[in-house]
């Protein structure tokens, strides 16, 4: 069996790296997810400020249930495109845990911001805090997924 020369081997390796980069570019969470979470976050903030505790609690449970049913499919980053499903070993195992951890931190930030807004005399402190966090979700979520994408490319040698 003929062995490839070093130039052919180098070209083949470059092709593998380029294709891995193409696949890694498919690691994403659909934009609809970020918008859904952000809008839901604001809705919960508004309900907390304006509705009864029972209504706000039920809405929170419904939001949590809907998120729990959607999150396993979209937070792994493997199904960002209908054309390609990225293998788990390319994405890495930590993406969903990282994103869920960030959402927990944002819940804490919402509480802290709401307390600060209330101390400042704001009329709807949770709504204000929720809008700030929703903007963070819309901007920060895709950035975080981009970091995971870059890490996948680097892990592949590219």
Its domain, for residue 68, covers 6-155
| Stated pTM of the model | 0.78
CB 42 within 8 A of CB 135: no
Tell me: pLDDT of 118 over 80. Answer: yes
CA distance 48 to 84: 40
The number of C-alpha atoms within 13 Å of 80 and in the hemisphere containing its C-beta is 21
CA distance 66 to 69: 5
Report pLDDT for 60: 95
Q: Containing H/E element for 44? A: helix 31-50
Whether 1 is covered by a domain: the verdict is no
Helix (H, G, I), strand (E, B) or coil at 18: helix
Whether 58 is covered by a domain: the verdict is yes
Domain count, the chain: 1
Q: Of the spans 10-24, 72-86, 90-104, 127-141, which averages the highest pLDDT?
A: 127-141
Residue of higher predicted confidence among 92 and 139: 139
Whether 15 is covered by a domain: the verdict is yes
CA distance 132 to 127: 9
The number of C-alpha atoms within 13 Å of 43 and in the hemisphere containing its C-beta is 15
Q: For residue range 48-59, what is the model confidence (pLDDT) as tens digits? A: 999 999 999 999
């Amino acid at each position: 069996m003929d062995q490839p020369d070093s130039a052919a081997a180098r070209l083949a390796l470059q092709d593998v790296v380029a294709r891995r980069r193409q696949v890694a570019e498919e690691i994403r969470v659909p934009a609809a997810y970020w918008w859904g979470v952000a809008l839901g976050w604001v809705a919960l903030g508004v309900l907390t400020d304006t509705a009864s505790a029972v209504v706000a609690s039920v809405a929170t449970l419904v939001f949590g249930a809907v998120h729990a049913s959607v999150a396993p499919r979209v937070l792994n980053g493997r199904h960002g495109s209908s054309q390609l499903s990225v293998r788990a070993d390319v994405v890495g195992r930590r993406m969903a845990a990282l994103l869920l951890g960030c959402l927990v931190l944002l819940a804490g930030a919402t509480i802290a911001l709401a307390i600060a807004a209330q101390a400042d005399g704001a009329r709807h402190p949770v709504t204000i805090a929720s809008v700030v966090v929703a903007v963070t979700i819309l901007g920060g979520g895709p950035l975080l997924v981009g970091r995971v994408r870059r890490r996948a490319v680097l892990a592949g040698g590219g």
